[in-house]
Amino acid sequence: MTARRTRPAPHHEGRLTVRYIDGRRHETRAELAARHSLSPNTLSRYWAARDTNGHPPAVRIERTLHWPSREFDQWLGGLQAEGAATTQPTPKPEGMGGPAEFARICGHSTTHTVMDWVHNPPQGFPAPDHWHELPSGRKRPYWQPERMTAWAEHGRGPRGQGKGNPGRPRSQPHPYAGDPRLALARQVLAENPGATTTDLVRLMVQRYPEHYSKAAWTSILTTARQHPTEE
């Protein structure tokens, strides 16, 4: 696509000389780059690929390429939206827990052990129910709360520790033992015997002063149902 030559009358806006052709404002590559917070090199690459990306045509004014501002803005917006759609990571699953939540259920302070189980799964370790793609391209595993809790209570550790949570102190009878959130879950269950998990989670979120994920509260509810009293 060849740039069209023209010589419009300049219009002065303060210190900036703005050029109009047929009533349409035109800007140079440097002006467009500055206004859109992009580098001129990026715009040069867009222009070089104009045969395939639909880049608006340019006009040459005094040996310098100019583009119609409005058409360029619309084109760039569409290009960026299309790029965002193609690189959008998979949505984070609702109601599931990631490595951090799995680690907390198992009584670990870091996710190192959980991730080691993911990459070198011991017998019976639950495979992730979902992989969430991060903007970096890496993938993070997620599990249903009941599967995390089941492993924490009945899983077998990589060193053959037998029943019970591999890595949780033997003095801890079940996940969240002694946790005030578990006490709240038991109270809410007793007060609302017919409520759904979603309603119970909402009640606990409203009552508890600190923020925790829905997956965390769902796991705590599961434990509260399995252990309605302290043993």
Q: Is residue 18 a contact partner of residue 9, using CB atoms and an 8 Å limit?
A: no
Q: Across the chain, what does the average pLDDT equal?
A: 78
Q: Which of 2-16, 114-128, 164-178, 206-220 has the highest mean pLDDT?
A: 114-128
d(CA 131, CA 59): 48
Mean pLDDT on 104-112? 82
Q: Region 194-213: what's the mean pLDDT?
A: 85
**Top-confidence residue, 19 or 67:** 67
Q: Say what the pLDDT of residue 90 is.
A: 59
pLDDT category at 186 given cuts 50, 70, 90 is very high
Q: What percent of the chain has pLDDT over 90?
A: 12
pLDDT at 17: 59
Give the amino acid at 160.
G
| Closest to 31 in 3D by CA, of 2, 62, 73 | 73
Interval 120-154: pLDDT, tens: 788 888 899 988 876 656 788 899 988 888 888 87
pLDDT of residue 72: 93
What is the rounded average pLDDT of the residues 169-176?
A: 64
Helix (H) or strand (E) run with residue 66 in it = strand 64-68
Query: In Å, how far from its chain's centre is CA 118?
Result: 20
